[in-house]
Amino acid sequence: MLLEIKNLHVRAGDTQILKGVNLNVEAGEIHAIMGPNGSGKSTLANVVAGHPAYEVTEGTVRYDGDDLLELDTDERARDGVFLAFQYPVEIPGVSNSQLMRQAYNERRKARGEDELDPLQFDDYVREKVKVVDMDPDFLDRSVNVDFSGGEKKRNEILQMAVLEPRLALLDETDSGLDIDALRVVSNGINQLAGDDNAVVLVTHYQRILDYVEPDKVHAMVDGEIVQSGGKELAMELEERGYDWVAKQKGAAQ
């Protein structure tokens, strides 16, 4: 199992956000987690990435059999965990290529491979830039500074393409995109997805699932995954709303 989350309870400050999440993701799978605003989707993604604002009060997260919660954020990333942020921050003064080269070389070192020098990296990254259909000028610009919303999302996908993670968590990378950008982002995801890695899409729109075929869809309501199924669950959620699953769950209990 690539990612195995059991009975995960998470708190931020005094607020209990996740209340017993269970999720199993195998290598080679694409999962979609859907749910209304405030249900805890970003929290789940952030906890897997190691965000310091969240405290795990109960439960376990295992990654490839190891206790993921034992590792620092940067160690998780070097081991192949990638989070595409819902709201990527702007970092003035750090260029996109500088960040990606540093990140990629860290990842290579962790895999026992040689680092790439700036020229070698430039060749490598330019191929990846084509995947996301970005202007190569973006490489020299400060990370996300003065990028439009869509450019920031593409930039996250570019970083994912560069780092080739084993587990990619995409937090609403599809939100706010026009159809062209959505195709680009989906294309990036489909290029990455393979037998050795897994993708978890966090979204509350069903539209991206027309481009990225999920193996499993989960509905998250109020800090819990209340229902799981195949792609048809996404359709049903879109038609009937989340109240419907919440009620179903209430009825089942």
Question: Does residue 61 interact with other proteins by CB under 8 A?
Answer: no
**Binder of other proteins out of 107, 128, 154, 166 (CB under 8 A):** 107
CB of 42 to Mg ion, least distance (A): 3
Interface with ligand ADP includes 41 (CB under 6 A)? yes
Measured from the CB of residue 105, what is the shortest distance to other proteins in angstroms? 9
Q: How many CB atoms lie within 10 A of CB 179?
A: 9
When asked if residue 12 is in the footprint of ligand ADP (CB under 6 A), the reply is yes
- Binding site partner of 13, from ligand ADP, Mg ion, other proteins, none, Cβ cut-off 5-8 A by kind: ligand ADP
Q: Binding to ligand ADP by residue 246, rule CB under 6 A?
A: no
Q: Among all chains, which residue has been given the structure tokens 């509350």?
A: 204
Output the CA torsion sign for 12, 82, 189, 64.
Answer: negative
Which two three-digit tokens encode residue 241? 């709303």
Q: Return all residues near 243 (Cβ < 8 A) that are at least 6 apart.
A: none
Residue 140's binding partner among other proteins, Mg ion, ligand ADP, none (Cβ under 5 to 8 angstroms by kind) is none
For the CA atoms of 143, 145, 147, 149, the dihedral, rounded to the nearest 10 degrees, stands at 90
Is residue 49 near ligand ADP by the rule CB under 6 A? no
Residues linked to residue 19 through DSSP beta bridges, in sequence order: 9
Rg of the chain (C-alpha set): 18
Backbone angles phi, psi at 137, to 5 degrees: -60, -25
Q: Where do contacts with other proteins occur on this chain (CB under 8 A)?
A: 49-52, 72-74, 77-78, 82-83, 85, 88-89, 91-94, 98-100, 102-103, 106-107, 110, 142-143, 159, 163
Q: Where do contacts with ligand ADP occur on this chain (CB under 6 A)?
A: 12-13, 15, 17, 35, 37-43, 53
